[in-house]
Structure 1
Amino acid sequence: MDQIDAELEKIGSLRDNPAGAIRITCTDVVIETVFRPKLGAFLKKYPAIQVELDMNYALVDIVAERFDAGVRIGEALEKDMIATRIGPDWRFSVVGAPSYFAGRSPPTTPHDLQDHDCINIRLAGSGGHLRWEFRSPDGRDVSLRVEGQSAFNTAGAALNGAVDGLGLCWISQEVAAPLIAEGRLQEVLVDWCPFYEGFHLYYPSRKRNSAAFSAFVDEMRYRGPARPA
């Protein structure tokens, strides 16, 4: 069936414009920071292409689930996959609302988080909570499980919880930046939050890609500096 689908897509690609459906599995952070800024222009440029973005925090088998590609940070790419960089290096931020910090001392090291209400993100599949990762100023990696009264299964919902004063949130700095600039969130533990290799679109090396998918990869490819200014 995969071969039949590929041949049908090839027939569609013989037209002036690439055509066909593309399915990508990723998180809501990827949708907001990588795909959303570019998707409108891409769909307008290629009106015969349909794009489905499946928001999922599980480690999805993209072949078994019949996705064209998935998205992971560069350090967590699957084997036997082709990877295309679609974003700059990025880091997490620990943020909380001014109302949360009223009457509380902000943490100065990750271990101080045990005295704070932290908003967890539950991972699909494993059922556990996402560990918060840090790096000390002298280069030591620190990985913590945090505790709090609230947990969500998406980063967007956790961020909203932080805005509402429910606790501290560990979130992509790019997502939190507008709220920090507006004064609705405060950032802490900045010196403990390292940069990570940027998001990559990954897909099977043995699969013959359609013209529609090739156009999508080319449009989403990141061509800027690795580290944001």
Structure 2
Amino acid sequence: MKRDELGDLVAFLAVAEERSFTRAAAQLGTSQSALSHTVRRLEERMGVRLLTRTTRNVVATEAGEQLAETLRPAFNDIRSRIDSLSAMRQRPGGTIRITSSRHAAETILMPAVKGLMVEYPEINVEVSIEQRLVDLVAERFDAGVRLGERVEKDMIAVRIGPELRMVVAGSPGYFERHPKPVTPHDLTQHSCINLRLPTLGGLYAWEFERDGRPLNVRVEGQFVCNDVPMIIDAAVGGLGLTCLPDDHLQPLIDEGKLIPVLQDWSPPFPGYHLYYPSRRLASPAFALLVDALRYR
């Protein structure tokens, strides 16, 4: 591709996004007439109309929209890389957008973020609390925090917390009325509190493993909820057994409000990780965040 052809594509994309020759010309630092000539030259070279011009508006044709969709991610990537290189010469600053589950944000993310923002006033952080897995690129997040086993393989994943275990637990009052389960199969005789998953809306199948053999159990009970704090409150209140990661339940177990069972059926699994696209060029601010969160 010749150098002027690349410039023509940049000019076209600016007009298509601004939907105005006047605004696009101001953005590019050129005249409206020169910009109009550039786009017309591109249309003649491609042999297809890319923009429909009216007295009030400029709208991309179907061919123009297809071309814009092709150019947009490529030019955004170029801008991102140039911005990252420029940022390397500056004091850490800018906005970092992170998606996280609530519990991970409260227990791991926010303690690190608070310290970072105090030390570097130019760094801004936006945290979005989500239970679902988020497409970081499509929704323009810099990073996400999720359990290690839920991170996509094409992402860079940095461990930020210890290994976790799933814990089945009930209140002392519940076990006064029911015998403790000895194996996961005994759960069919118990009232269990089901977790409604945030993604597809199904119920979480309780996961166990012993001697390398996995076992999933579909449980039943009176109460179903998609909110972990409410499930914990119901378990403490004696409504049934719950199955959640130990970092949610351990404080209540230590206080004697919940009693764990089936502990020899719950092997450890990867804890919380910070994940981000592998092609991302880290800004100084983002690199500081990764270092502050890294589990040691």
* TM-score, scaled relative to structure 1: 0.86
Q: Which amino acid aligns with 1:213?
A: F
Give the match for residue 155 of structure 2. 81
Q: 1:127 aligns with which of 184, 189, 201?
A: 201
Highest RCO, 1 vs 2 (Cα 8 Å, sep ≥ 6): 1
Task: Give, in whole Å, the separation in 1 of the partners of 2:118 and 2:88.
Answer: 17
Higher helix share: 2
Q: How does 1:12-27 map to 2 (within 5 A)?
A: 14-16=89-91, 18-27=92-101
Matched pairs, number: 221
Say if 2:215 is the partner of 1:142: yes
Higher strand share: 1
Say if 2:281 is the partner of 1:203: no
Three-state SS of the structure 1 residue aligned to 2:174 is helix
CA contact 1:29–1:156 (8 Å) conserved in 2? no
Give the match for residue 108 of structure 2. 34
Give the match for residue 212 of structure 1. 285
TM-superposed deviation, 1:8? 5.4
Q: 1:165 aligns with which of 220, 235, 238?
A: 238
Structure 1: unaligned runs, 5 residues or longer: 224-229
Task: Give, in whole Å, the separation in 2 of the partners of 1:201 and 1:117.
Answer: 35
Give the match for residue 183 of structure 1. 256
Change (3 A) 1:36 1:170: farther
Which whole-Å deviations, capped at 9, do the CAs of 1:161-204 have from their partners, x for residues lacking one? 21222221111112211111111111111111110022221111
- After the TM superposition, which of the residue ranges 47-56 and 1-10 deviates more from structure 2? 1-10
* TM-score, scaled relative to structure 2: 0.68
Query: What percentage of residue pairs aligned between the two structures are identical?
Result: 47
> RMSD of the alignment, in Å?
2.2
Q: Which has the larger radius of gyration?
A: 2
Three-state SS of the structure 1 residue aligned to 2:112 is helix
CA contact 1:34–1:87 (8 Å) conserved in 2? yes
Structure 2: unaligned runs, 5 residues or longer: 1-71
